[in-house]
Amino acid sequence: MLHSRAEVKPAGDAARRTGDREATWPHNASIPNNLVAGVGTPYSDDFKMTASRAADRPRDYPHRHLLGIEGLSPADIVGLLDRAEDAVEVSRQVEKKRATLRGRTQINLFFEPSTRTQSSFELAGKRLGADVMNMSVASSSVKKGETLIDTAATLNAMRPDIIVVRHHAAGAVHLLARKVDCSVVNAGDGIHEHPTQALLDALTIRRNKGRIEGLVVAICGDILHSRVARSNILLLQALGARVRCIGPSTLLPVGLDRFGVEIFTDMRKGLDGVDIVMMLRLQRERMNGSFVPSVKEYFHFYGLDREKLALAKPDALVMHPGPMNRGVEIDSEVADGAQSLIREQVEMGVAVRMAVLEALGSHLPNT
């Protein structure tokens, strides 16, 4: 018998624990549709039970996973941001430990190295009382597809409650989410989405500007290869910001003009009247003539220095998802300057991840 979590009712849940699943699942190549339903889309019907139980809670997060910003409603996003505000307070106390996820197991499964995101998720889980295990899988030893599913099956058998996944291939996290019974958080899949980054960026903006609606946000640099940009475009637009994308055409994805953003290839023009300047990292291998001619030229035309920043609004704020390439996309003077929110973004990262884990945790079965 196979059940999606959506179908889990007390009786079904009991069945799940009988062990018949282990006998069938790894050998069964075709996973029924009801197990994959709703990936990336709201579980409107599937979570009726949970939803009705939490009907009085305005922050209810009606999804089993967080796979992307796509599929989240503005209310979902605002709910997460509100939760994160509380988490900021928790993180600022001496006693940072909560029992929200006590007894729960969180696995951080990173197929791509990431110090910042992984440690942020680890701290967030620990502050909520979960047992956190870090699994780093060197990408070279992974042979994609089959192995990813094997890994999912193996992990699933360990009965985690939440798996946080980063993978170099777009859609890999979605694939994994279909193969496990627990909740899955996308910590970055290829150049597709990085939802917690977008959430922490939104939280940082909201705390500094008091709102997101009506702000003009410029996302600058390597949009083409940026999951951060994709998630941010979706989230900021959902909350009513005006998004601009600035970069050389070689670093802009095809069809970007249909994302509802304003596109500028001249950064000086694009920064005019901007409230938030969001810089993106440019990978070193893309700087030497393949996508842009050189670091020197890139910095000259697209690096954020004091002179270019002066073209934005006087109270414009600067963000960067990190890690920064100083002197490539951003000048140190700006990165460390008074208008920079880059440090604060890191703090908000932990808070937002606590909020996400807590929101997902509220749906975890208690029996």
**The amino acid at 33:** N
The response to whether 227 counts as a known ligand-binding position is: yes
Nearer CB in complex with another protein: 42/253: 253
| CB 182 to another protein: min, Å | 41
Residues 241-300 that bind another protein (CB under 8 A): 248-250, 265-266, 288-294, 296-297, 300
Check whether 197 is labelled as a binding-site residue. Answer: yes
Backbone angles phi, psi at 55, to 5 degrees: -60, -30
In DSSP terms, which residues pair with 330 in a beta bridge?
304, 326
281 annotated as ligand-binding: yes
If the CB atoms of residues 73 and 250 are measured against another protein, the closer one turns out to be 250
The answer on whether 322 is annotated among ligand-binding residues is yes
For another protein, give the closer residue by CB, 28 or 250.
250
Report the nearest approach of another protein to the CB of residue 197 (Å): 27
| Residue 332, both tokens | 């140190």
Please tell me the distance from the alpha carbon of residue 99 to that of residue 91, in angstroms, as a whole number.
Answer: 14
User: Can residue 306 be called a binding residue for another protein (CB under 8 A)?
Assistant: no
The CA–CA distances, whole Å, from 43 to 61, 63, 141, 355 equal: 10, 5, 35, 19
Taking the least distance from each CB to another protein, the nearer of 304 and 359 is 304
Q: What are phi and psi of 42, to 5 degrees?
A: -60, 140
Give CA–CA dist 313/276, Å, rounded: 9
Residue 144 is assigned to a ligand binding site = yes
The gap between the terminal CA atoms of the chain, to the nearest Å, is 19
Beta bridge partners, 136, equal 110
Among 301, 346, 364, 365, binds another protein (CB under 8 A): 301
User: Annotated binding residue at 323?
Assistant: yes
Q: How far is the CB of 294 from another protein (least distance, A)?
A: 5
What's the CA gap between 110 and 188, in Å, rounded? 9
Q: How many residues at the interface with another protein, by CB under 8 A?
A: 16
Feature table: binding site for carbamoyl phosphate: 116-117, 166, 194, 197, 322-323
List interacting residues with another protein (CB under 8 A). Answer: 248-250, 265-266, 288-294, 296-297, 300-301
